[in-house]
């Protein structure tokens, strides 16, 4: 009896499933340090801190992590600011016009506090970047894959996006995301030379020092600029801005108007109001800056007349000193690392 062997055809599909394809597309990457990137990162982080992370934490989600816990620090900060602004304006209804104006200035002070605190960080980080090549605010998007909650759900793993900065950690910053040319440029800016055998190892301790001193300078300077923003908000010239905002025009549609005409009318009215309020805001801001520097006209006494000038000057000088300290320390570290520690004029014993 002859045994015959029949050929067996296997139809094997080696194509990756859709979930694996998604994983290859999403990867941790450095983002350009632009205004659009910062706005997108702040919006994503803040919205998640209010809507997503608290729900996950209260449910005991296994994918909750320390990053989400830190991100939720923005919740009491924003909520408290809004509560202060609402309290000032709610109480205003029962107060005199003079007290109402002061309450509105307090509410504006909350806004300018946050704005000046955020913008003033650039007064430190930008010069440090120009002088040393180290961008301490360099953003990146960290990709994290969630853990499966039940057996069999591995194919439905969700991708989580974390908005971070390369130098969030001074000791363990993300070197893996930076190529060698980045460190070569830093070495050249610091004066270490352009022909180093290992620019990463040579520049790492200097970069860590720059990050530490920059963070300290940024923190101290930002609170001083925030105080300046509050002082700016209590000047007299903001009254025109509040009046313009209160007396903005309202669109009243006619009975014979169709939907398109009503929409067009409301849109034009909104555009005119926005333009008028913006112009008034810019004028009030410039006048308030002038009043803060020179002092109010009705001010009497040296302290009240020169208080704004003293605060602004102290803040600017402090920012300059802290920034220069960061740059000079980095340059000195680079200079000392280039020194020859062996004096060739003396006899030495080679073992």
Domain parsing of the chain, residue ranges? 26-148+155-235+296-337
Per-residue pLDDT tens for 71-100?
Answer: 898 898 888 888 877 777 776 666 777 777
Confidence band (pLDDT; 50, 70, 90) for 348? very low
pTM score, two decimals? 0.78
Per-residue H/E/C for the chain: CCCCCCCCCCCCCCCCCHHHHHHHHCCCEECCCCHHHHHHHHHHHHHHHHHCHHHHHHHCCCCCCHHHHHHCCHHHHHHHHHHHHHHHHHHHCCCCHHHHHHHHHHHHHHHHHHHHHHHCCHHHHHHHHHHHCCCCCCEEEEEEECCCCCCCCHHHCCEEEEEEECCCCCCCCCHHHCCHHHHHHHHHHHCCCCCCCCHHHHHHHHHHHHHHHHHHHHHHHHHHHHHHHHHHHCCHHHHHHHHHHHCCCCCCCCCCCCHHHHHHHHHHHHHHHHHHHHHHHHHHHHHHHHHHHHCCCCCCCHHHHHHHHHHHHHHHHHHHHHHHHHHHHHHHHHHHHCCCCCCCCCCCCCC
Q: Which of 254, 235, 241, 230 is nearest to 281 (CA)?
A: 241
- The span from the CA of 176 to the CA of 52, in Å, is 29
Which residues does 23 contact at the CB level (< 8 Å), separation at least 6? Answer: 145, 159
Q: What is the pLDDT of residue 350?
A: 46
Tokens of 329: 């320390």
Angle (nearest 5°) at CA 81 between 79 and 83: 70
Confidence band (pLDDT; 50, 70, 90) for 57? confident
Q: What is the mean pLDDT of residues 6-22?
A: 46
Per-residue pLDDT tens for 267-324?
Answer: 888 888 888 889 999 999 999 998 888 877 766 666 777 788 899 999 999 999 999 9
- The span from the CA of 211 to the CA of 227, in Å, is 24
Per-residue pLDDT tens for 157-178?
Answer: 778 888 899 999 888 899 989 9
């Amino acid at each position: 009896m002859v045994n015959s062997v029949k050929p067996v055809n296997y139809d094997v599909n080696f194509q990756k499933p859709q979930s694996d394809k998604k994983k290859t597309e999403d990867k941790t990457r450095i983002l350009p340090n632009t205004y659009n990137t910062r706005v997108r990162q702040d919006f994503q982080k803040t919205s998640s801190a209010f809507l997503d992370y608290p729900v996950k934490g209260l449910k005991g989600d296994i994918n909750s992590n320390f990053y989400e816990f830190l991100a939720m620090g923005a919740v009491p900060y924003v909520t408290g600011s809004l509560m202060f602004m609402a309290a000032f304006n709610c109480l205003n209804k029962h107060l005199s016009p003079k007290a109402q104006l002061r309450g509105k200035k307090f509410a504006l002070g909350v806004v300018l506090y946050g704005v000046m605190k955020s913008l003033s960080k650039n007064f430190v980080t930008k010069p440090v970047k120009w002088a040393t090549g180290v961008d301490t605010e360099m953003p990146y998007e960290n990709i994290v894959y969630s853990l499966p909650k039940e057996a069999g759900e591995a194919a439905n793993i969700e991708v989580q996006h974390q908005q971070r900065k390369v130098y969030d950690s001074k000791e363990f910053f993300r070197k893996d995301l930076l190529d060698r040319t980045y460190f070569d440029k830093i070495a050249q800016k610091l004066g270490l030379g352009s022909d180093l055998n290992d620019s990463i190892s040579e520049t790492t301790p200097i970069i860590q020092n720059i990050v530490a001193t920059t963070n300290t300078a940024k923190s101290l300077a930002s609170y001083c600029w925030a105080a300046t923003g509050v002082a700016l908000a209590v000047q007299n010239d903001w009254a025109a801005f509040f009046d313009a905002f209160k007396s903005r025009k309202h669109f009243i549609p006619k009975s014979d108007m169709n939907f398109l005409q009503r929409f067009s009318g409301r849109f034009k009215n909104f555009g005119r109001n926005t333009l008028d309020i913006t112009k008034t805001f810019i004028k009030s801001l410039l006048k308030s800056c002038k009043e803060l520097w020179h002092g109010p006209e009705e001010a009497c006494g040296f302290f009240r007349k020169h208080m704004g000038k003293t605060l602004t000057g102290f803040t600017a000088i402090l920012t300059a000193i802290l920034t220069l300290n960061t740059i000079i320390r980095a340059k000195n570290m680079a200079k000392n690392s280039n020194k020859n520690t062996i004096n060739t004029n003396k006899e030495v014993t080679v073992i």
